Structure 1
């Protein structure tokens, strides 16, 4: 709904509603005068087109006789022929045309005007929304709905200065300037061959081919080829290919960025952007206050600058040196150099250099160099270099030879080759090769090849290295064991091992249902281990684990709970039978009391002589030990 309202508003700005009358200078009249007084000819014109002339007879000689024959031509064309060679100019006030003599205009102006109509070479229809500009001064204008243009030019232009005329789907024209004086030049544009169907353009997101440019020296006087022209506004040109692509595939973040980039584009800039995509201008320096309010004027979007200073915000086609913005920089093409902004940098294509922004760097292409942002760096292409962000680094493509550091997360949707990711919370990539992931909470990669993951939780589909953390999950070639076991202290234990063979994590809980007094005793532990195969069905694993031991008295659980500590080292031999396996082995156990309470004081160990734990000898620091055993049934992956 918002886009429909904006489109309607744009149409009303560029092409006024049909109910509004055309400017008196654009209305069509016919003249057939032979030695008639000028006053009579002007009166006949005003009656035909329903407007009035106003002038001072002291400076405009209306008693002279004129001879002229024209059919259905705009009033401004007829006036140009009537006053050809005379110092008479005209302007519109409401429904009146004011004729001004030499004494009523500024003498020796520093500028002159080039005006006329843009005409379709094949149909003879006038062309609205055509771009007219001069490369040196960047003076520009857009033809009105009736095809008329008026371009103000400085008299001190270079001798080789030319005026360029561009219209989407038409071949471009270049008009060579002669004498530096106001004149009328009609420009005829040749339509290009019919472009591919819109569906094909939208699917491939490929713009039409650049318009060829024809250079010609036009006549000074207006072309008077008779045409039967209707006073109607032409249809708005279709949007460029990138605006008709599949909007549903864009994320909310992408659409928000697109809205920000076009927020300051008004109707004339949108027309220039559609017409001048094949034209590139260059400037060594530019300064602006706001987009299109600066030394590059309304053609900012088509200029590549070497040094660019945006006091608040600015836009350009590219930068080849340094760009500094007090608030925001927007580049439609590439950045080759350094880009600094107080708030945000937006780049439509690639960055070859370094970007720094107080809040956001957003690049639609690749980045080769570095980015630093207070909040987020976003890249829709590939990255090679440095990324530093206070919150998030987001890369839609691949990362190579890079360092990514973020306060919260790094996310690379493509592969990461020779990349270091450092994040306060999480790192994510597709394939990690010869890289390192270090996170405060979780690392995730689809495939890890000769890379290392270090975090409390590491996740991978497959891994050719050793993840280091409290819990590691490797789906395809990982090591997983779910075990029901018994040992000399606790007859019932449930354990889960996860990771890779060379290094895995162990979680375990167990219980002794009743000690000598009939009370249950519990344990919960965590450990690490390693395993190596002895053939297809035999395996040896070594576990080292730490366990908290307590009994079930609620006052112990909720009032200054200090469980006893049990350390266990267990080598086991495993024999597989399909997915099931039997495992058994000896254990070395160390037991420590953290306070005077001994949760195992009424527990007998299932070893030789079945001693009670409280009968064992404790050191001065409340440590004791024994040799035990462990056996269990495992479910393997």
Structure 2
């Protein structure tokens, strides 16, 4: 039934004229004066004056009132002014049919024009703020931009150029040519910004993408982002100026920042910041700050502050750390580290927290490095001393770390019944200052001892605890002395005198399997140099 009434309306509002060779619609000029009439009636009146047939469905026209005051104008020219933008016409001979734009709606529009101040401005960045299509002006200041047509009636165009004020204009959503004038910025000193990844190897981010964020202050936002690689994705070539909430990068992605979740098959690169969870198959790279959890197969590189957790197969880097770094290779903090570093090798310029690794390095520390080899350059603990005890008369002891926890490396020899006894050992210790400004050290070491004769070589184990007091009258040279508690492990099958170590005495002796344990209290005496590796 509705189709019947539509056809009926078309017939009722159709006006026929004699066929003619020339197009009255496009070429015949008319004069018409009529005020306050319905749009549909006005169109039929124009057709009557121009002498052509007009057909349309009244339902497609708005219920609006118009006034006609034209002279020496063609019907086509008048139609362009009075018809809504979503109505188009088809001319068939002497007939004109009006239709609503639907099936042939444009998918894209072209915005072109010129950017200038007094003269044309070249290399100005021009982009559409919704679809992120972008381009640069040429040497004549001209540009051409193909934009996906938005659902709204307006489209936003933003223009950026170093030395000029940023410009944002709203244009009708149609193909058009515009001229945009930029204003100069007032000259003033520009503070130097922190490194924020304005230069990245082109292997990961093409130059055509990087150049769009050089000296540009625009900050755009998209909740979701999907990319194959930088420049191929929903952010197009504008990734360096776009902040996302959720990002999925099939191979890799590049953005101004990400606030919640970012996952990359190979890499994620954020020019300014990242927060939340960031996971990459190879690496995560953040220009200024990160807060959350970073997980990468190879490494996480943050050139600003990291607050949270960094987990990497090989390498973690931050300017400063408030949290935890765990890697299978190296953790690096170029400023202060508050928290925990766990890796085979850890470095922090200023260690406030703790390091756990094989090698721990720091320029200065108020925290504690725990590992096999720990060195703190400025306020660390290091000493080299010669010591003697009841088994090995001459020993060289090297200590390194911080007063609250340092490593000990020892080597020396003794002599018994025409046989040399050799020892090497490792241990840990702590140093505290007493009220009388003397230092007291608690140390625990394990030594491997062996005695060689012409027939064979015999091995022993020695666990030793020391309580040492130091004379602090001299700044560099230290005299240390104190008691030791010793436990010697040797085979109980070594019953020949030549294979047994001769102990001063034994207050406890027992067998544990094929081992014989002997305990005694001894004395340690040493003289050495403290802080000999620390610059004055």
| TM-score normalised by L of structure 1 | 0.55
Closer/same/farther in 2, CA of residues 380 and 631 from structure 1, 3 Å limit: closer
CA contact (8 A) 1:131 1:271 kept: no
Matches within 5 A, 1:99-248: 110-111=105-106, 118=114, 120=116, 122-123=118-119, 126-136=120-130, 138=132, 142-151=136-145, 158-161=152-155, 167-170=161-164, 177=171, 185=177, 187=179, 189-190=181-182, 192=184, 204=192
Which of the numbers 347, 351, 361 marks the counterpart of 1:428?
347
Question: In 2, Cα distance between the equivalents of 1:581 and 1:635?
Answer: 5
Contact 1:573 1:583 in 2 (8 A): yes
Residue 362 in structure 1 maps to residue 285 in structure 2: yes
1:414 aligns with 2:314: no
Cα distance, 1:399 vs. partner? 1.3
The counterpart of 1:318, out of the listed 242, 249, 255, is 242
**What SS does the aligned partner of 1:593 have?**
strand
- The within-5 A match list for 1:5-154 is 110-111=105-106, 118=114, 120=116, 122-123=118-119, 126-136=120-130, 138=132, 142-151=136-145
Q: Distance in 1 between matches of 2:469 and 2:165?
A: 82
SS at match of 2:202: helix
Structure 2: distance between partners of 1:619 and 1:174: 89
**Cα displacement (A) at 1:519:** 4.0
Partner of 1:11: none
Q: How far apart in 2 are the matches of 1:138 and 1:146?
A: 23
1:485 aligned residue: 388
8 Å CA contact 1:337–1:353 kept in 2: the answer is: yes
Displacement of 1:372: 0.8
Q: Is 1:339 the equivalent of 2:257?
A: no
1:365 is displaced (CA, Å) by 1.2
Task: Tell me, yes or no, if structure 1 residue 552 matches structure 2 residue 452.
Answer: yes
**CA 1:154–1:543 in structure 2 vs 1: closer, same or farther (change >3 Å)?**
closer
Q: Which structure 1 residue ranges, 5 or more long, are not aligned?
A: 1-57, 60-83, 88-101, 208-240, 244-254, 302-314, 462-474, 608-612
**Structure 1 residue 454 and structure 2 residue 370: aligned?**
yes
| Per-residue deviation, 1:447 | 3.7
How many residues are aligned here? 432
546 and 600 in structure 1: CA distance in 2 versus 1, 3 angstrom threshold: farther
Is contact 1:119-1:127 (8 Å) kept?
Answer: yes
Instruction: State the match for 2:253 in structure 1.
Output: 329
Q: Deviations over 1:192-234 (max 9, x none)?
A: 25856xxx76x83599xxxxxxxxxxxxxxxxxxxxxxxxxxx
Q: For 1:454, what is the secondary structure of its paired residue?
A: strand
Of 400, 422, 435, the match for 1:522: 422
1:168 Cα offset (Å): 4.7
Match of 1:405 among 326, 332, 340: 326
Conserved in 2, the CA contact under 8 Å of 1:481 and 1:498? no
Is the contact between residue 450 and residue 460 of structure 2 (CA under 8 Å) also seen in structure 1? yes
* 5+ residue gaps, structure 2: 1-21, 24-72, 77-90, 93-98, 531-536
Contact 2:225/2:248, CA 8 A, preserved across alignment: no
Task: Report how far residue 376 of structure 1 moved.
Answer: 0.4
The Cα shift of 1:411 comes to 1.4
2:197–2:287 contact (8 Å) kept in structure 1: no
